[in-house]
């Protein structure tokens, strides 16, 4: 099938050199990565991400071998490479400054992964045939996912494979992703590639039919996501591709026809689709600013001023946001719903300036390279796959840059990897207009690059192995049906592998707290004392996580240490002042401490903040009211 898609031209058989074999292996590694990540819930599954880390590590080692075996191999080097290294180096430095260590290290590993993919692409996927093959495979993967998304939408399915789709996304298709917006983010990056290749790529007839058909289906896949930002970003990307092709007389008619087809198809889909209209009507609804993304943005903005220069720390947003979140948002977000806003919160102004410089360098390079391809295209009657791939990748980068203003696509591994690969494609095309972007090998250069390769590959493999082992133990503990000691042993083994992972400690301590309540036997007290120690250790690793302070407060209260328990419950309330959960726990602790007026006040606040599904607060509120009324009666 691939041979049919890639064309029917006869290729003279010859034995490839060993460096060509390495390039082919790295190419297939890329194909494997992009076959796995988008189809595994956007790469959010532990096994998929860990496997990708290992595949990238293999690619790095192969590249390192090529450096030493082929001394004529040139390394791509331009200002963008310096900036990528600068961002990666800053991530290393920032992860060791005061922050949530475990969260920072996980983010650092992602940065290393994306940096590695960038360097592997620009230094090994240089041949036009290799890049075209990768693009065709990427389009094929997006095509299959789009088929699945369209089938979901047409059948009204609420399943993503075997998993129930979140209720909030009902009547919207998400394909193999959890969130429809992120499927739109992926497809809007692949669609410009398919369209550009359809109109101006040097392809065989079968290939033209394939990419043209894929363009239509990908557009349909974006349509059924009903993603507002996805619609806008995809249309901007298509407009960039078509407007640039319109400038060349030989592509003017195909560009006009493609524009008409897009408009007709879009109009047909939007007619009578109440879901689309209601989604856009929400933008005019004031509650969007008070309770939706507008409220998240407003709550997140003050975080920028907390540590403006260095930021709060990599991976710290989902912990620190609780201190700032509005009382109208009780399901505190894991992400800021704006990649730029979250980046400056976590990385600070220094990191944000590095990012802006990188994007500015890319944009400058795009204009420079675009003029080269436009001039070459005007002087040639032949199509150019290289120019088509560049145009499609540049438009894709514009699409995802726009979408990232109002969503967190760069925190979805599959989309981040796709953006990095297309970014590398855009940057690598600068070699056609700048002969100085090559770095000749010297023993010093090979040594430095080899050390970086070993460090990066080692980090990726270590994280993959550790994450897989920890995840397996945590899942076993979660599903364990035996004694509390057996479950605790599994959690303890996971903590021994990853001792600074505060999230495992939270799960382990919560399990011990649940068993220890209501502290009626000696075994219950032993369980509670063990939980208290684990909470205290985890707080040292993450002093801003309210659940740790709240759990410790409850545990100490049950152990009869009321004063200490109330202090930690109060600290939890300070970390999450507008949370129904923290008010409920503080009220519960006050009730156990026999301060019934305080208990009634905070349990009442909890119910006010969240009425539906807040049975914990409602049940204890009745008890607190009853106790308070009995005291007043006797007074």
CA 551/CA 267 separation, integer angstroms: 54
Encode pLDDT of 133-178 as tens digits. Answer: 999 999 999 999 999 999 999 998 888 998 888 888 888 999 999 9
Instruction: Answer whether 0.85 is exceeded by the pTM.
Output: yes
H or E element that contains 160: strand 159-160
What pLDDT does 290 receive?
A: 63
What pLDDT does 406 receive?
A: 92
Give the SS3 label for residue 171. coil
CA 27/CA 106 separation, integer angstroms: 27
CB–CB of 472/496 below 8 Å?
A: no
CA 271/CA 293 separation, integer angstroms: 27
Strand partners, 439: 75
- Cβ-in-10-Å burial (0-12, 13-18, 19+) of 323 comes to middle
- Domains of the chain as residue ranges with CATH: 2-7+18-435+445-455 (no CATH), 456-634 (1.25.40.10)
Task: Determine the distance from the C-alpha atom of residue 417 to the mean position of all C-alpha atoms in its chain, rounded to a whole number.
Answer: 9
Q: Is the C-alpha dihedral spanning 94, 98, 104, 105 positive or negative?
A: positive
CA 470/CA 34 separation, integer angstroms: 25
Q: Is the C-alpha dihedral spanning 19, 21, 25, 27 positive or negative?
A: positive
What pLDDT does 320 receive?
A: 94
Token pair recorded at residue 618:
């409602």
DSSP character for 407? S
Q: What are phi and psi of 164, to 5 degrees?
A: -70, 130
User: Residue for token digits 């290749």?
Assistant: 197
User: Residue for token digits 């290729």?
Assistant: 11
CA trace torsion 605, 608, 610, 614 (10° rounding): 70
Count of other CB atoms within 10 angstroms of residue 427: 26
CB–CB of 347/311 below 8 Å?
A: yes
- The CA–CA distances, whole Å, from 173 to 147, 181, 223, 277, 589 equal 11, 9, 9, 16, 44
CB–CB of 95/104 below 8 Å?
A: yes
Q: What are phi and psi of 75, to 5 degrees?
A: -100, 130
Taking alpha carbons only, the member of 40, 181, 32, 47 closest to residue 117 is 32
CA 117/CA 114 separation, integer angstroms: 5
Count of other CB atoms within 10 angstroms of residue 496: 11
Parts of the chain with a pLDDT under 50: 1-15
Strand partners, 163: 160
CA 175/CA 149 separation, integer angstroms: 4
CA 53/CA 461 separation, integer angstroms: 6
What pLDDT does 15 receive?
A: 42
What pLDDT does 283 receive?
A: 62
């Amino acid at each position: 099938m691939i041979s049919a898609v890639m064309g029917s031209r006869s290729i003279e058989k010859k034995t490839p050199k060993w460096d060509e074999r390495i390039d082919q292996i790295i190419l297939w590694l890329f194909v494997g990565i992009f076959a796995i990540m988008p189809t595994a819930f956007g790469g959010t599954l532990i096994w998929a991400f860990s496997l990708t880390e290992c595949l990238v590590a293999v690619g790095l080692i192969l590249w390192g071998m090529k450096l030493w075996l082929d001394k004529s191999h040139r390394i791509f080097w331009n200002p963008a490479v310096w900036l990528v290294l600068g961002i990666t180096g800053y991530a290393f430095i920032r992860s060791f400054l005061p922050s949530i260590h475990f969260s920072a290290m996980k983010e650092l590993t992602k940065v290393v992964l994306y940096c590695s993919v960038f360097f592997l692409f620009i230094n090994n996927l240089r041949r036009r045939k290799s890049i075209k093959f990768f693009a065709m495979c990427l389009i094929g993967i997006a095509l299959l996912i789009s088929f699945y998304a369209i089938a979901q939408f047409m059948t009204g399915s609420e399943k993503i494979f075997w998993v129930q789709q979140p209720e909030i996304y009902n009547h919207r298709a998400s394909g193999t992703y959890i969130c429809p917006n992120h499927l739109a983010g992926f497809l809007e990056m692949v669609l410009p590639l398919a369209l550009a290749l359809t109109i101006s790529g040097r392809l065989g007839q079968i290939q033209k039919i394939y990419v043209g058909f894929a363009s239509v289906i990908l557009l349909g896949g974006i349509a059924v996501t009903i993603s507002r930002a996805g619609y806008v970003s995809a249309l901007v990307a298509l407009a960039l591709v078509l407007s640039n092709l319109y400038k060349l007389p030989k592509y003017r008619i195909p560009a006009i026809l493609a524009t008409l087809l897009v408009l007709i198809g879009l109009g047909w889909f939007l007619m009578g689709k109440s879901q689309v209209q209601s989604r856009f009507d929400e933008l005019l609804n004031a509650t969007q600013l008070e309770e939706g993304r507008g409220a998240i943005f407003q709550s997140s903005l003050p975080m920028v001023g907390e540590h403006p220069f260095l930021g709060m720390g990599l991976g710290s947003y989902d912990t620190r946001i609780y201190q700032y979140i509005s009382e109208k948002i009780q399901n505190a977000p894991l992400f800021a719903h704006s990649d730029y806003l979250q980046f400056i919160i976590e990385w600070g102004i220094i990191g944000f300036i590095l990012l802006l410089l990188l994007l500015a360098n890319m944009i400058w390079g795009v204009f420079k390279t675009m003029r080269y391809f436009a001039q070459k295209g005007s002087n040639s009657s032949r199509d150019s796959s290289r120019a088509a791939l560049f145009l499609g990748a540049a438009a894709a980068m514009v699409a995802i840059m726009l979408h990232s203003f109002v969503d967190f696509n760069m925190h979805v591994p599959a989309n981040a990897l796709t953006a990095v690969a297309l970014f590398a494609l855009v940057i690598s095309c600068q070699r056609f207009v700048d002969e100085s972007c090559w770095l000749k090998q010297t023993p010093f250069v090979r040594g430095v690059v080899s050390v970086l390769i070993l460090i990066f590959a080692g980090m990726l493999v270590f994280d993959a192995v550790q994450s897989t082992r920890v995840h397996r133990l945590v899942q076993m503990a979660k599903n364990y049906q035996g004694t509390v000691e057996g479950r605790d042993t599994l959690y303890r083994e996971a903590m021994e592998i990853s001792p600074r992972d505060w999230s495992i400690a939270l799960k382990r301590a919560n399990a011990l707290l649940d068993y220890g309540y209501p502290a009626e036997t000696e075994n219950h007290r032993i369980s509670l004392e063990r939980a208290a120690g684990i909470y205290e250790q985890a707080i040292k690793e993450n002093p801003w996580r309210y659940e740790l302070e709240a759990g410790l407060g409850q545990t100490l209260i049950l152990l009869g240490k009321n004063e200490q328990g109330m202090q930690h419950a109060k600290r939890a309330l300070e970390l999450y002042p507008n949370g129904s959960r923290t008010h409920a726990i503080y009220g519960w602790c006050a009730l156990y401490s026999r301060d019934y007026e305080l208990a009634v006040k905070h349990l009442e606040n909890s119910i006010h903040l969240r009425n539906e599904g807040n049975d914990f607060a409602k049940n204890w509120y009745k008890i607190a009211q009853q106790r308070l009324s009995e005291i007043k009666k006797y007074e």
